Structure 1
Amino acid sequence: MFTVPRRSVPTALVAGLLGLGLVACGGGTTKDSAGSAAPAAPASSAPATADPDAPLREGLKLAFLPKQINNPYETIVDKAGIEAAAEFKAQAKEVGPSDASASSQVSYINTLTQQGHDAILIAANDAKAVCGPLQQARARGAKIVTYDSDASKECRDLFINQASSEEVGRSQVRLLSELIGGKGEVAILSATANATNQNTWIEFMKDELGRPEHKGMKLVKVAYGDDDDQKSFQETQGLLQAYPDLKGIISPTTVGVSAAARYISGSKYKGEVVLTGLGTPNQMRQFVKDGTVEKFALWNPKDLGYLASYAAAALASGQITGAEGEVLKAGRLGERTVGKDGEIILGPPFTFDASNIDQFDF
């Protein structure tokens, strides 16, 4: 499912292609948040100071835990992170559930903790449900790096964010506004109801829609496809039937946007309802070329996995502790500064359309 790019991505772009498309934008299920988390154990104390000159330890054991193992976006992220680990002579693997539920992730966290991994890298399906088990892993000495979708801040050391959450949310509304002329009813097709990244983006979307320049646009529904292809397909159908005046849909999840595009491409709504969101070029190429989708966004998922892998190694080696202002040396991606609340941002959003989509292969 992972392919080598036909052409190397320009440096500025490598810093971050946007699009919360690929399953990079999924989430956990509502029913899990209440009862699946184990009691929190005290987190292990981080070193008082970092040693930026410390070498990366050889032989580190890293584990990537995606939202779900069969998510194409997460597969690209994790494979790139595993390949990056080879650069600093670490052992890395991907493990995870076949469904996007927090309770399934919890069992994997517990197993990885028992196996004594130096770092666990997780795209959280539910910020709170995974917190207790992650705290227990930290108490046993593991460093916790979240990527794509964050866990509660007290449960991890660093969050590798694809792009500024605010910029992702606001840019999606601006893009749709451009495509529909700033007027009409719009809907959002999200992943799961508890997905941290999705919910954060959606809050910024709603705030952006409240600005005077978007007064002609009205949000009529936020639907949830649960990062499931068939459910997302059906939710798209339901939106279009329930809201006959709908002018546009934003789907900030790779599973959702491709499923929505597939439905619209074979329906009477093609050319009538605008779809945008976050997706991968390979996923969306056919829909751009057949006119179903004009523009969509994403970041480079390979760079996200690469950055997360180096962050985990730097934490486990004592180069950084996750404190604001520390500088991470991230291999070919150069340096990244740790921001507020232990967040490192990959880079800005990037828009794909017919003029550039054939330049990319992922």
Structure 2
Amino acid sequence: MIKRPLVAVALTAALAVGAAACGGTTKNSSGSDNSGNAATSGKKADPNAPLKKGLKLAFLPKQVNNPYETIVDNAGIAGAKEFGGTAKEVGPSDASASSQISYLNTLIQQRQDAILIAANDPNAVCGPLKQAMSRKIAVVAYDSDAAKECRDVFINQASSEEIGRSEIKVMSDLVGGKGKIAILSATANATNQNTWIEFMKEELKKPEYSGIQLVKVAYGDDDDQKSFQQTQGLLQAYPDLKGIIAPTTVGIAAAARYIDSSKYKGKVAVSGLGTPNQMRKFVKDGTVKKFELWDPANLGYLASYAAAAIASGQITGAQGETFKAGKLGSRTIGKDGEVILGPPTVFDSSNIDNYHF
């Protein structure tokens, strides 16, 4: 795993989603606390309450066959064992907007103590999540947020603004500050992807990036083959393309694999978000010079402890509350119930062999 610790940053980016877009009711839908998170209304925290034993947690990733999501969830499951709980991973094999709903309904029927979800769509899952909360089930969004009124807290891997802007900075360095670039995203409705992309577009407005032109945002739906085909399509449509940013572990690996075996190797830069183990080959052979990520295991671990703290009554999700997250230490809840893991790490040939995940 990552050898040096990640330091939490205060910079946050909240994606505002209207309450009217979702069905169902909150535990107290008529009120709101001073954090703006309706989910915490009417609840009081007892920071001295012990973590309950025997808590049942369920992780619902975007898709169960995603290697990144597997790392996150397995670490969360292991974390639950530390505080005497049990956890499992369930979910769909595709990342479509509605694919998580049936699993949510089942988890509610099973009376889980906490549901942890990486939302494929912030609104599509809102109804069943509100139903879960009305039944005193803690709801933690991680990696990709649900609408804020439909969960207690959101565990964000890093500041959304920092991720988006740093992706442009890395790509600008790779293409020498000029040329056409494209973005290969996951699904069109993914909260995290869309937030990062908006900050990428904002960053591109700065004068120092005037030589860079974003020509297209393509979607590979977090599917390896479709992402591979989308990469091919981008280069057919824009043969003078200079770089591809893929802020998804599935997308960056597929794009690198295509470039690696094509005439574009050494001519088209590939960057984005990937795990060191999946990208090591492409860094070693020069296909990918730089990419970013955080420690996904720590993300799942932090989410697990946050869920336990909510289910035990230590926190409600209100801004300013704190909780202890095992080996990661004390964490503070920010605006809109957001907890940030830490800043992203840039991986390249000089440090990639120091990381193994």
Q: TM-score, normalising length from structure 1?
A: 0.90
Q: Find the counterpart in structure 1 of residue 263 from structure 2.
A: 268
Q: Distance in 1 between matches of 2:221 and 2:98?
A: 15
Is the CA contact 2:120–2:191 (under 8 Å) kept in the aligned structure 1? yes
Unaligned runs of 5+ in 2: 10-20, 29-38
Amino acid aligned to 1:9? K
Is the CA contact 1:38–1:133 (under 8 Å) kept in the aligned structure 2? no
Q: Distance in 1 between matches of 2:251 and 2:6?
A: 27
**Cα distance, 1:38 vs structure 2:** 8.1
Q: Find the counterpart in structure 2 of residue 210 from structure 1.
A: 205
Verify: 1:123 aligned to 2:118, yes or no: yes
Aligned-partner SS, 2:93:
coil
Is the CA contact 1:58–1:90 (under 8 Å) kept in the aligned structure 2? yes
Alignment equivalent of 1:340, drawn from 332, 335, 349: 335
**Cα distance, 1:49 vs structure 2:** 2.6
CA deviation map 1:252-279 (0-9, x unaligned): 0000000000000000000001110000
CA deviation map 1:88-132 (0-9, x unaligned): 000111111111123220000000001101100000000000000
Aligned-partner SS, 1:306:
helix
Is the CA contact 1:77–1:302 (under 8 Å) kept in the aligned structure 2? yes
Alignment equivalent of 1:106, drawn from 101, 106, 110: 101
Q: Distance in 1 between matches of 2:194 and 2:320?
A: 27
Verify: 1:133 aligned to 2:117, yes or no: no
Verify: 1:360 aligned to 2:344, yes or no: no
Amino acid aligned to 1:300? D
Amino acid aligned to 2:53? E
Alignment of 1:1-362 (within 5 A): 5=1, 9-12=3-6, 39-43=23-27, 46=40, 48-362=43-357
**Cα distance, 1:232 vs structure 2:** 0.4
Q: Percent identity?
A: 72
**Cα distance, 1:50 vs structure 2:** 1.2
**Structure number with higher relative contact order (C-alpha < 8 Å, ≥ 6 residues apart):** 1
Is the CA contact 2:96–2:187 (under 8 Å) kept in the aligned structure 1? no
Unaligned runs of 5+ in 1: 17-36
Q: Find the counterpart in structure 1 of residue 17 from structure 2.
A: none
Amino acid aligned to 1:40? G
Q: Find the counterpart in structure 2 of residue 33 from structure 1.
A: none
Q: TM-score, normalising length from structure 2?
A: 0.91
CA deviation map 1:196-227 (0-9, x unaligned): 00000000000000111101100000000010
Q: Root-mean-square deviation (CA), in Å?
A: 1.4
Q: Distance in 2 between matches of 1:186 and 1:101?
A: 26
**Cα distance, 1:335 vs structure 2:** 1.2
CA deviation map 1:170-197 (0-9, x unaligned): 0000000011111011100000100100
**Cα distance, 1:11 vs structure 2:** 2.2
- Count of matched residue positions in the alignment of Structure 1 and Structure 2: 335
